[in-house]
Amino acid sequence: MPDRRASVRCCGARLCRMACGPARAREEAMTRPSSSPNRAGRFAVAALIFVAAAVAATRFAVRRPALPVISSLPEFHLVDQTGAPLSNADLRGRVWIASFIYTRCTGPCPVIVERLHQVARRLADVPNLAIVSFTVDPQYDTPEVLAAYGRKHRIDPSRWKLVTGPSRAVIGLIREGFYLPVERNAGGDPQRAAVVTHSVRLVLVDQAGRIRAYYDSGSQDDLDRLVNDVRWLAKRKKVEPA
Rounded distance, CA 18 to CA 39, Å?
35
Rounded distance, CA 167 to CA 203, Å?
21
How many domains does the chain contain in total?
1
Question: Strand, helix or coil at 37?
Answer: helix
108 in any annotated domain: yes
* pLDDT at 192 > cutoff 70: no
30 in any annotated domain: no
146 in any annotated domain: yes
14 in any annotated domain: no
DSSP state of 164: B
Q: Which of 47, 28, 44 is nearest to 36 (CA)?
A: 44
Domain boundaries, position 201: 71-234
For 54-85, the pLDDT digits (tens) are: 544 444 344 455 799 999 999 999 999 999 99
171 in any annotated domain: yes
* pLDDT at 8 > cutoff 70: no
Rounded distance, CA 97 to CA 178, Å?
12
- pLDDT value at position 6? 46
Across 208-216, average pLDDT: 98
Q: No. of H helices and E strands in the chain?
A: 8, 10
Question: Strand, helix or coil at 230?
Answer: helix
- pLDDT value at position 30? 42
CATH assignment at residue 181: 3.40.30.10
229 in any annotated domain: yes
128 in any annotated domain: yes
